[in-house]
A and B are shown apart, each in its own frame.
Chain A
Amino acid sequence: DAMVIQNPRYQVTQFGKPVTLSCSQTLNHNVMYWYQQKSSQAPKLLFHYYDKDFNNEADTPDNFQSRRPNTSFCFLDIRSPGLGDAAMYLCATSSGATGSENQYFGPGTRLTVL
């Protein structure tokens, strides 16, 4: 089945220790997104790629970086995690055909910062 896969599902890191979360997709979608979701809140967009074009949200901290080496993979790097970065990180994809279409979400990575 075509899908969005995230690894790991659970990640524990120490305060200030860099961490990388990964996302892959078999949908061959042009657009990939990274969201941060905290308890009882809506997903908050961090950035997205249309193909290799990177689009950062204005309020995304510099501590968050992303890489998309090819169509299938996208990575979220948190350079120096703080306690406030503990959250669920959701990857999503969309076809990019119209700019207004459904986004397919991965299962998420739950990040704990000790």
Chain B
Amino acid sequence: GENVEQHPSTLSVQEGDSAVIKCTYSDSASNYFPWYKQELGKRPQLIIDIRSNVGEKKDQRIAVTLNKTAKHFSLHITETQPEDSAVYFCAASKSDYKLSFGAGTTVTVRA
């Protein structure tokens, strides 16, 4: 099956700085890569996603890049704010209705 690795497991950044989370996947058939944010005690919620026919996507302070050749994708958060503190999960899907999740990154934004 698909194996998704996510790094780092924890990330502490100063407010206003950027945060970068990286994921790698193993199955070249994967074609959809969402990122979820999960605040403490709440549900995972999609923050951005990218499909395999696109190399980069941006939504305000959040961007995702995809390198299909290297099988890795990254989440970039610029100008971090305290409300960005949460656990972030990357995932990959290969048209089998399932998501393979990374282990998660706990992001702490220091005021």
Which residues of A are interface residues toward B (Cβ below 8 A)?
31, 40-43, 45, 48, 50, 55, 90, 94, 96, 98-103, 105-108
Contacts and interface: CB of A to CB of B under 8 A. Distances in A.
Interface of B: 31-32, 34, 42-46, 49, 51, 87, 89, 93-99, 101-104, 106
Contact of A42 (B32, B42, B43, B101): B101
18 contacts: A40-B104, A40-B106, A41-B104, A42-B89, A42-B103, A48-B97, A48-B98, A50-B97, A90-B44, A94-B97, A99-B95, A99-B96, A99-B97, A100-B51, A103-B34, A105-B44, A105-B45, A107-B42
Contacts of A98: 32, 95
Chain A at the B interface: mostly helix, strand, loop or mixed?
loop
Contact of A107 (B31, B34, B43, B94): B43
Contacts of B99: 45, 103
A91 B37 CA distance: 16
